[in-house]
């Protein structure tokens, strides 16, 4: 731990600039790019500038502006990149959803709702920055977090499944909620608090065997519990993505906390074993793997959703068809605006645009990890690596699934995809990361004049 | 804690890198393949988003486009006299993709071909709509009509070529189909399409017999055998006697005789008499004397064993087999494993007629942009030279005897020199199925040799003896040649 408190060379030298003006300049672009994209779609689809463009740009500008002012006031030393990237991704996501709303075969319009959820997300973001003065307060709620996370994870079992995956809590009259998105943050808080306390026991009390440090049996307990839990999510909620996310998150945080490579080995063995075991009897998983291996296969003579997504990507080529000029409406399945939105991105802005968006995600993830590096307290380090790691895994699992790199799992692309829970939870995630980075980069207060120091100076000639 | 953090940072970087590599793979490496996949509906949407360019015969379009309201598609393909032209155009269907010229020239017809880039760009600035270019064919409408109507209700095919250029003049196949009947995507279109499939219609109306079906060429192949005899110096004079015993037994067999059709004067007959009477014994022996290697080499000069005859629609490979001596002797009279497409046999007649030069057959003369700029012009190419000019003269003279006073008299045209050869190919085990009736011929006038034609008729209900190519196939060949000659005047 001593290494981390003294290591302030990467970020956070005393007197470091706050970079708030940098953030403001980038925010201007983060608002302007989606506005131009909006106009572009309107011109392509209807030949006119869409009527809502003024309202939309004012709305997005207002959200970004308020967020910036709040960051300037309450987290002045926070990372300058995260807010612009999140704004840009959210803004582009809204444009792509609005663009798909123009295809009437894809069902009712979703963009207005998504705008409302984004506003709520930003509101939560602001609330966290204003009311959470110090992220270490969260440490107090370690075990409450555990209970809440378990409830959130288990709850969907009792609600009807949607399209083969039970990841929803449906509240009649109010709509539905995807608790997994929130559980991701809360469980990161629990892991951070728990591992901070237990990490010495986990790291040191072990036997060396074949170059690996084998943990004691009782220390293996937690990892086995999490493992069993993620397998249960997989089996009872048929949710491959969430179970992968939680297990991966736990292994990453365990590795960071203990600095023991053996945990990674155990993690990989357990997840591989679990996945194979479940795949042997879960037809849902088998179907996903089959579709992954044969993406272009015809189903009853018809083209599958997986194949349509591949055709979308391929037809986009390097530069894409142009916004509003693609045919991603052909992805007629369950989720063209959420899970498969990346296919529309790939088709309409091409390889170039898709790579830019993936790099934005990469940048956001690496800024989160940088925050972990810069954080001075172990809880902050663990929490920020947990949040960034979860974000990274989610991006990889979704984007990898849609592009056919790995089997498809039902998760949403953070910020970009349609889905209220997702956008709210991810704004909260960014808010916590900003809070930690503000603490990390804040200049240390000037040392208080010490009486001892004065005395020694008197002695010195 | 920072060391594992840095490692996790690298790991996350690798995850993003893996995604970047993957999207490059999908969108760049596999991009074109996915983009043009026939199941990718964008291909069809693009194809029918503008009025499709036309396939032109003799200055007139044999295709058209009409607007539809069927969902994704704005336009639908139409065909004028579709049954007659189907072996040339192929089809373009909203639901069932496209084939032949419609498919091969899709880029031009749709207007997306790179060669149309300039005119497309001009259109973009002048506000004109994207429109496909046209495919101008070499076909002769009158000859095609004569061929199609001549075949009538019989099952068969006709291929006619201009020997001097290789331009395809007629390409008919019966029974045929109307590509208009399933150009759309309604249930009616699907029913029409399914009814035409082989499993529902044993006559295979969608098979392009002129290019894609191979038949035993029968006695028409004797022209190739005669050419081989002359080219290889086995005989030099078509009028002097050959060394041909009668009866003749196949080599390497214990007395298996090769029979002639009826009691015809074949003993030591000259090449002229042998071709005139269609002597199996004489040509079987020539093939045996020359051997498989030389026979195969000569057949290949005429275009056999070439899987890449693209007109641009690819013709099936005609086969002169590599075989043992008795089988080779049989192959020399167009039996055994010898197989030829009607186009191939038209090429044989064409090469003889054009003084021994075989021109590459083609049916697309020009590709024309919507602004009438020619983006591609075919220049006739020589494919090979199966006969020297002198030997070509000799083969011509014996083929002309066949028409003048041999088995092919039905193809005579007053005032025109016609050379031809009949054929009746056995078919089925122990010859139990109805044979194929063949006729190949060419017509010569003072101005040149404008047409060579091959006709094949699959076994009909006519009596076996009556089916000889001279009676069924020759009249059709005559009508086609007349149609071409009429256009020459």
CB spacing of A369 vs B8 below 8 angstroms: yes
CB spacing of A405 vs B40 below 8 angstroms: no
Q: How confident is the model at residue A9 (pLDDT cuts 50, 70, 90)?
A: very low
CB spacing of A346 vs B26 below 8 angstroms: yes
Which of B201, B184, B118, B79 shows the shortest CA–CA distance to B369? B118
Would you list which residues of chain B are within 8 Å, Cβ to Cβ, of chain A? 1-9, 12-13, 15-16, 18-20, 22-24, 26-28, 30-35, 37, 39-42, 45
For B270-297, the pLDDT digits (tens) are 999 999 988 999 999 999 999 999 999 9
Calculate mean pLDDT across residues A402-426: 89
Stretches where chain B sits below pLDDT 50 are 463
CB spacing of B16 vs A358 below 8 angstroms: yes
Whether A305 and A331 have beta carbons less than 8 Å apart is answered as yes
User: Which residue among A1, A346, A365 sits closest to B23, beta carbon to beta carbon?
Assistant: A346
**Mutation to test the B interface, candidates A255, A300, A314, most B Cβ within 10 Å:** A314
CB spacing of B32 vs A350 below 8 angstroms: no
Which of B369, B90, B329, B333 shows the shortest CA–CA distance to B222? B333
CB spacing of B20 vs A350 below 8 angstroms: no
Which chain A residues touch B71 with a CB distance below 8 Å? none
Which chain A residues touch B15 with a CB distance below 8 Å? 392-393, 395-396
**What pLDDT does B264 receive?**
86
Which of B79, B76, B84, B75 shows the shortest CA–CA distance to B55? B79
Q: What is the DSSP letter of A369?
A: H
Q: Which of A87-91, A167-171, A270-274 has the lowest mean pLDDT?
A: A167-171
For A225-262, the pLDDT digits (tens) are 777 877 787 677 767 778 888 888 888 998 998 888 88
b/e per residue B56-81 (b: at least 16 CB within 10 A): bbeeebbbbbeebebebbebbbebee
- The reply to whether B317 falls in a domain is yes
Q: Roughly what angle, to the nearest 10 degrees, separates helices A240-258 and A378-403?
A: 150
For residues B288 and A55, what is the distance between their CA atoms, to the nearest angstrom?
91
Calculate mean pLDDT across residues A436-454: 75
**Mutation to test the A interface, candidates B8, B72, B185, most A Cβ within 10 Å:** B8
From B45, which residue of chain A is nearest by alpha-carbon distance? Answer: A327
**What pLDDT does A400 receive?**
93
ipTM of predicted complex: 0.90
Q: How confident is the model at residue A461 (pLDDT cuts 50, 70, 90)?
A: low
**Mutation to test the A interface, candidates B5, B20, B44, most A Cβ within 10 Å:** B5
For residues B101 and A392, what is the distance between their CA atoms, to the nearest angstrom?
50
**What pLDDT does A456 receive?**
59
**What pLDDT does A4 receive?**
43
A436 contacts: CB under 8 Å, gap ≥ 6: A135, A371, A372, A375, A380, A383, A384
User: How many structural domains is chain B composed of?
Assistant: 1
Distance from CA of B186 to the nearest CA of A (A): 16
Q: Is the pLDDT of residue A11 over 60?
A: no
Q: Quick one: three-class SS letters along B437-460?
A: EEEEEEEEECCEEEEEEEEEECCC
CB spacing of B12 vs A405 below 8 angstroms: no
From A249, which residue of chain B is nearest by alpha-carbon distance? Answer: B8
CB spacing of B23 vs A358 below 8 angstroms: yes
From A317, which residue of chain B is nearest by alpha-carbon distance? Answer: B27
Which chain B residues touch A317 with a CB distance below 8 Å? 27-28, 31-32, 35
Per-domain boundaries in chain A: 2-442
For residues A247 and B27, what is the distance between their CA atoms, to the nearest angstrom?
31
- The reply to whether B77 falls in a domain is no
Which of B146, B173, B139, B143 shows the shortest CA–CA distance to B157? B173
Mean pLDDT taken over chain A:
84
Three-class SS state of A25 = helix
């002129």: which residue's tokens? B210
Domain ranges, residue B402: 212-363+383-488
For residues A104 and A117, what is the distance between their CA atoms, to the nearest angstrom?
22
Segment holding A95, helix H or strand E:
helix A82-101
**What pLDDT does B73 receive?**
84
- The reply to whether B81 falls in a domain is no
Which chain A residues touch B19 with a CB distance below 8 Å? 358, 395-396, 399-400, 403, 405
Q: What is the CATH number of the domain that holds B261?
A: 3.40.710.10
Three-class SS state of A206 = strand
From A369, which residue of chain B is nearest by alpha-carbon distance? Answer: B9
Which of B204, B162, B86, B117 shows the shortest CA–CA distance to B363? B162
Residues of B with active-site annotation: 219
For B430-474, the pLDDT digits (tens) are 666 778 899 999 999 888 899 999 999 987 555 455 556 788 899
Helical H segments across B25-90, by residue range: 31-35, 41-47, 82-89
For residues B332 and A416, what is the distance between their CA atoms, to the nearest angstrom?
72
- Rounded to two decimals, the pTM is 0.72
Q: Both tokens of residue B310?
A: 């693209």
């Amino acid at each position: 731990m001593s290494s981390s408190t003294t290591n302030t060379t990467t970020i956070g030298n005393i007197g470091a600039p706050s970079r708030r003006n940098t953030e403001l300049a980038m925010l201007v672009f983060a608002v302007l790019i989606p506005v131009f994209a909006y106009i572009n779609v309107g011109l392509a689809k209807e030949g006119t500038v869409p009527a809502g463009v003024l309202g939309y740009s004012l709305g997005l500008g207002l959200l970004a502006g308020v967020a910036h002012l709040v960051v300037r006031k309450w987290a002045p030393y926070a990372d300058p990149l995260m807010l612009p990237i999140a704004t840009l991704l959210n803004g582009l996501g809204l444009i792509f959803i609005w663009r798909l709303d123009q295809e009437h075969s894809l069902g009712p319009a979703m963009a207005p709702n998504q705008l409302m959820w984004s506003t709520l997300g930003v509101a939560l973001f602001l609330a966290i920055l204003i009311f959470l003065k110090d992220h270490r307060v969260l440490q107090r709620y370690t075990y409450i977090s555990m209970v809440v996370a378990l409830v959130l994870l288990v709850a969907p079992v009792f609600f009807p499944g949607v399209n083969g995956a039970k990841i929803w809590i449906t509240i009649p009259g109010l709509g539905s909620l995807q608790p997994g998105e929130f559980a991701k943050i809360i469980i990161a808080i629990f892991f951070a608090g728990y591992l901070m306390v237990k990490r010495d026991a986990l790291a040191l009390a072990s036997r060396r065997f074949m170059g690996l440090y084998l943990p004691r049996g009782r220390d293996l307990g937690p990892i086995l519990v999490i493992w069993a839990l993620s397998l249960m999510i997989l089996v009872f909620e048929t949710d491959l993505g969430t179970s992968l996310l939680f297990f991966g998150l736990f292994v990453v945080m365990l590795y960071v906390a203990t600095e023991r490579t053996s945990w990674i080995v155990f993690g990989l063995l357990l997840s591989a074993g679990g996945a194979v075991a479940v795949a042997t009897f879960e037809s849902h998983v088998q179907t996903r793997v089959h579709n992954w291996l044969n993406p272009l296969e015809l189903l009853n003579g018809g083209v599958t959703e997986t194949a349509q997504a591949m055709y979308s990507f391929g037809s986009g080529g390097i530069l894409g068809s142009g916004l509003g000029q693609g045919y991603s409406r052909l992805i007629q399945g369950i989720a063209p605006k959420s899970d498969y939105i990346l296919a529309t991105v790939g088709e309409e802005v091409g390889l170039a645009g898709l790579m830019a968006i993936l790099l934005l995600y990469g940048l956001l993830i690496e800024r989160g990890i940088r925050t972990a590096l810069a954080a001075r307290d172990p809880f902050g380090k663990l929490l920020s690596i947990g949040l960034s790691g979860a974000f990274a895994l989610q991006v990889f699992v979704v984007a990898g699934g849609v592009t056919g790199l790995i089997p498809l799992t039902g998760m949403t692309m953070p910020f970009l995809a349609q889905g209220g829970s997702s956008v709210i939870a991810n704004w909260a995630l960014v808010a916590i990361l900003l809070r930690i980075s503000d603490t990390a980069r804040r200049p240390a207060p000037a040392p208080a004049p010490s009486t001892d120091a004065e005395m020694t100076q008197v002695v010195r000639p | 804690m920072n060391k594992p953090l840095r490692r996790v940072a690298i790991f996350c970087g690798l995850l993003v890198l893996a995604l970047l590599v993957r999207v490059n793979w999908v969108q760049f490496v596999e991009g074109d393949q996915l983009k043009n996949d026939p199941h990718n509906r964008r291909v069809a949407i693009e194809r029918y988003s503008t009025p499709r360019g036309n396939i032109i015969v003799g200055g007139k379009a044999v295709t058209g486009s009409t607007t539809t309201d069927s969902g994704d598609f704005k336009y639908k393909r139409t065909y004028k006299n579709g049954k007659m032209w189907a072996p040339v155009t192929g089809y373009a269907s909203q639901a069932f993709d496209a084939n032949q010229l419609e498919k091969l020239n899709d880029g031009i017809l749709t207007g997306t071909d790179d060669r149309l880039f300039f005119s497309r760009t001009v259109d973009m600035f002048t506000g004109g709509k994207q429109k496909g270019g046209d495919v101008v064919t070499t076909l002769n409408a009158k000859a095609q009509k004569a061929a199609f109507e001549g075949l009538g209700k019989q099952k068969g095919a006709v291929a006619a070529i201009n020997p001097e250029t290789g331009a395809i003049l007629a390409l008919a196949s019966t029974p045929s189909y109307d590509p208009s009947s399933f150009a759309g995507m309604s249930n009616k279109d699907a029913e029409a399409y399914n009814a035409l499939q082989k499993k529902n219609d044993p006559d295979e109306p969608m098979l392009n017999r002129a290019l894609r079906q191979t038949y035993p060429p029968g006695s028409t192949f004797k022209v190739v055998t005669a050419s081989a005899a002359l080219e290889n110096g086995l005989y030099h004079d078509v009028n002097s006697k050959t060394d041909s015993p009668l009866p003749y037994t196949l080599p390497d067999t214990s007395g298996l005789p090769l029979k002639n059709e009826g009691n015809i004067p074949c003993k030591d007959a000259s090449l002229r008499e042998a071709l005139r009477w269609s002597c199996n014994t004489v040509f079987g022996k020539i093939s045996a004397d020359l051997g498989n290697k030389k026979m195969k080499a000569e057949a290949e000069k005429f275009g056999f064993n070439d899987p890449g005859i693209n007109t641009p629609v690819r013709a099936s490979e005609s086969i002169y087999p590599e075989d043992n001596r008795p089988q080779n002797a049989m192959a020399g009279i167009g039996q055994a494993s010898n197989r030829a497409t009607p186009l191939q046999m038209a090429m044989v007649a064409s090469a003889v007629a054009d003084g021994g030069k075989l021109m590459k057959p083609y049916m697309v003369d020009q590709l024309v942009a919507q602004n009438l700029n020619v983006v591609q012009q075919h220049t006739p190419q020589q494919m090979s030279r199966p006969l020297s000019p002198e030997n070509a003269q000799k083969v011509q003279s014996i083929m002309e005897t066949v028409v003048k006073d041999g088995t092919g008299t039905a193809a005579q045209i007053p005032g025109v020199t016609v050379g031809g050869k009949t054929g009746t190919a056995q078919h089925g085990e122990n010859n139990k199925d109805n044979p194929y009736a063949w006729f190949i011929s060419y017509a010569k006038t003072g101005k040149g040799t404008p047409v060579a034609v091959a006709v094949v008729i699959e076994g009909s209900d006519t009596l076996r003896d009556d089916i000889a190519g001279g009676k069924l196939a020759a009249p059709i060949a005559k009508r086609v040649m007349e149609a071409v000659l009429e256009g020459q005047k």
